[in-house]
């Protein structure tokens, strides 16, 4: 029995040595390649509550048609936080676009923040992303704000350059029937006076001091009802989180500037392009 055990142990030792010989150089080469790649500055797009890849797909197609950038990478996060990637980040693309898709698109801000942290670590470690822009629609803008407050100054993550929020309810959604006809843990965070929204304001001193922020607000007819779901006041309330000299709010008064029509609005495309890339 002893000789048999020795033989098995010797087999595993040899197997481990072979693995180190063949796979370690490959791992080192991948890390070296990532370090040697030219720095790129992608823009990450994050959907809101109940959102999906379709939330930004037509906007990104229009931006590609304008030659403002190119959709390069889709990061999908499963319900248990597992991340899968589709696409690449080519070095010769001026403005590569990244979409992050949460399979659990009704999760709380705290859960989405953790998942986004994991995505950002991968972007830095695997793709050498050192700097990045952010665009978030609705709840996506809340999650991005939470992410920025919880990671500011941490070298494990890419440095944020600019943030755009689109119809994000920083003071919550003041429509009772909305909560009656929807479901999911995120609804607690979207209510007026929720602990999650209060936490964003409490942690405002952790928000990156020199990060420019653009808040795009839709107003169909009345500021009190705003884009039909989020009031003008609520969508501009991140001005109470961000320092005055960092913040810019633009109100889009248009019957088509509905909550779910904002990311389909060509004027919104232009506002984002001007703010992020000077187009």
- Let me know if residue 236 belongs to a domain: yes
pLDDT digits (tens, 9 = 90+) for 34-43: 444 557 899 9
Band of residue 88 on the pLDDT scale cut at 50, 70, 90: very high
pLDDT digits (tens, 9 = 90+) for 156-170: 999 999 999 999 999
- Let me know if residue 33 belongs to a domain: no
- Let me know if residue 28 belongs to a domain: no
Count: domains in the chain: 1
- Let me know if residue 23 belongs to a domain: no
Would you state the pLDDT for residue 39? 73
- Let me know if residue 37 belongs to a domain: no
- Let me know if residue 4 belongs to a domain: no
Q: Is 240 helix (H, G, I), strand (E, B) or coil?
A: helix
pLDDT above 90 covers a percentage of the chain that reads: 83
Start-to-end CA span in the chain (Å): 75
At 111, which CATH number? 3.40.50.1820
- Let me know if residue 3 belongs to a domain: no
> Greatest CA separation found in the chain?
85
pLDDT digits (tens, 9 = 90+) for 194-218: 999 999 999 999 999 999 999 999 9
> 159-166 and 247-253 as β-strands: parallel, antiparallel, unpaired?
unpaired
The boundaries of the domain holding residue 129 are 45-277
- Let me know if residue 262 belongs to a domain: yes
Would you state the pLDDT for residue 204? 97
Helix (H) / strand (E) element for 96: namely strand 96-102
């Amino acid at each position: 029995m002893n000789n048999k055990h020795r033989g098995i142990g010797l087999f595993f030792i040899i197997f481990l040595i072979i693995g180190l010989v063949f796979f370690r150089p490959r791992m080192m080469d991948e890390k070296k390649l990532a370090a040697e790649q030219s720095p790129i500055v992608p823009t990450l797009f994050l959907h809101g509550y109940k959102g999906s890849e379709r939330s930004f797909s037509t906007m990104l197609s229009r931006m590609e048609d304008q030659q403002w950038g190119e959709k390069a990478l889709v990061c999908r996060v499963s319900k248990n936080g597992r991340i899968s990637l589709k696409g690449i980040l080519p070095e010769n693309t001026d403005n590569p676009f990244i979409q992050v898709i949460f399979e659990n698109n009704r999760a709380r801000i705290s859960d989405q923040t953790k998942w986004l942290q994991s995505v950002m670590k991968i972007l830095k470690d695997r793709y050498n992303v050192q700097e990045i822009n952010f665009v978030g629609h609705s709840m996506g803008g809340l999650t991005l704000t939470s992410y920025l407050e919880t990671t500011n100054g941490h070298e494990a993550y890419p440095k944020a350059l600019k943030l755009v929020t689109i119809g994000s309810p920083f003071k919550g959604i003041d429509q009772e029937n909305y909560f009656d006809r929807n479901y999911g843990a995120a609804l607690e965070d979207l209510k007026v006076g929720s602990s999650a929204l209060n936490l964003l304001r409490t942690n405002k001193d952790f928000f990156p001091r020199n990060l420019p922020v653009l808040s795009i607000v839709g107003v169909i007819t009345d500021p009190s009802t705003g884009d039909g779901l989020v009031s003008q006041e609520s969508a501009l309330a991140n001005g109470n989180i961000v320092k005055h000299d960092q913040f810019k709010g633009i109100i889009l008064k248009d019957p088509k500037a509905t909550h779910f029509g904002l990311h389909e609005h060509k004027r919104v495309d232009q506002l984002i392009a001007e703010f992020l890339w000077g187009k």
